[in-house]
């Protein structure tokens, strides 16, 4: 067997050559979108609400979902279904609200103030936070229901505050949304998917369903019976 001995200088030259060759392959990998910060310009959430047997006399059930640009942001947005509570409580309808802590900053109330009356009604909608010029907008798209029909197109501007959407969290929305009244009249409330869109048009889709509320099995006890 023949042994080939390499001097220290030769080994160093060989090492430098190998490093140079590897750099030809490694360098392009570092120039990926993962290493380039792209600001988020829109976040969307698609929701599904299934009602079992509503009670129109007391506007039951009532639902509220919440979105914020960040879990730590003082400003947040609520979407109320089947009731409105700004400036005072009223049965039926839909309402978009913007809050800073406990102070209401803006509100938009639907012109259709109908109350849910249809058993087994399925309500679906997409709610979004969108960077529009020098402000953020909270709005609704891709909506369908029997009570209010297609309620897409309603939106409200968020006054003041940061415009950064990079810290958006679907988990925050799940944890701060729910059935506020008449849970026994709801079969399910689910955040079906969420989508983050970047400045270059690319996006990240989270298709993991987040169950906010699911009716208990028959025979088990539950809260919120109205």
pLDDT digits (tens, 9 = 90+) for 193-218: 999 999 999 999 999 999 999 998 76
* Cα 60 → chain centroid: 25
Q: Quick one: average pLDDT of 156-176? A: 97
CB 192 within 8 A of CB 209: yes
Here the tokens at position 24 are: 């030809």
Task: Please indicate, yes or no, if residue 27 is contained in any of the structural domains.
Answer: no
In a domain, 29, yes or no: no
User: Which range marks the domain in which residue 184 is found?
Assistant: 37-214
pTM of the model: 0.81
Within a domain: 1: no
Q: How far is CA 145 from the centre of its chain?
A: 20
What does the pLDDT average to over 87-107?
98
Question: Would you say residue 4 lies in a domain?
Answer: no
Q: Is the residue at 104 inside a domain?
A: yes
Tokens of 174: 């799940």
- Number of domains present in the structure of the chain: 1
Average pLDDT score over residue span 104-125: 98
Cβ neighbours of residue 176 closer than 8 Å, sequence gap 6 or more: 66, 68, 76
**170: in domain:** yes
85 falls within a domain: yes
Angle, vertex CA 119, rays to CA 115 and CA 124, nearest 5: 70
Closest CA to 137 of 69, 48, 194: 69
CATH code of the domain in which 72 resides: 2.60.120
The structure tokens 């080939």 sit at: 4
Domain contains 79: yes
Query: The tokens of 219 are what?
Result: 């025979």
Residue 225: which pLDDT band, with cuts at 50, 70 and 90? low
């Amino acid at each position: 067997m023949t042994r080939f001995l390499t001097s220290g200088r030769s080994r160093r030259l060989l090492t430098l050559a190998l490093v140079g060759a590897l750099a030809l392959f490694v360098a392009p990998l570092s120039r990926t979108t993962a290493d380039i910060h792209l600001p988020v310009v829109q976040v969307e959430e698609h929701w599904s609400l299934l009602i079992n047997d509503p009670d129109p006399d007391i506007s039951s059930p009532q639902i509220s979902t919440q979105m914020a640009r960040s879990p730590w942001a003082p400003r947040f947005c609520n979407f109320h279904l089947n009731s409105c509570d700004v400036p005072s409580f009223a049965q039926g309808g839909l309402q978009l609200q913007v809050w800073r802590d406990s102070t209401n900053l803006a509100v938009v109330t639907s012109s259709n103030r109908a109350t849910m009356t249809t058993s087994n009604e399925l309500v679906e909608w997409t709610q979004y936070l969108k960077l529009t010029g020098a402000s953020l907008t909270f709005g609704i798209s891709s909506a369908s229901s029997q009570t209010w029909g297609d309620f897409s197109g309603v939106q409200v501007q968020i006054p003041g505050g940061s415009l950064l959407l990079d810290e958006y969290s679907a988990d925050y929305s799940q944890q701060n949304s729910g059935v506020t009244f008449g849970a026994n009249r709801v079969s399910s409330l689910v955040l079906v998917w969420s989508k983050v869109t970047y400045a270059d048009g690319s996006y990240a889709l989270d298709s993991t369903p987040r169950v906010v509320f699911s009716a208990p099995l028959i025979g088990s006890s539950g809260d919120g019976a109205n």
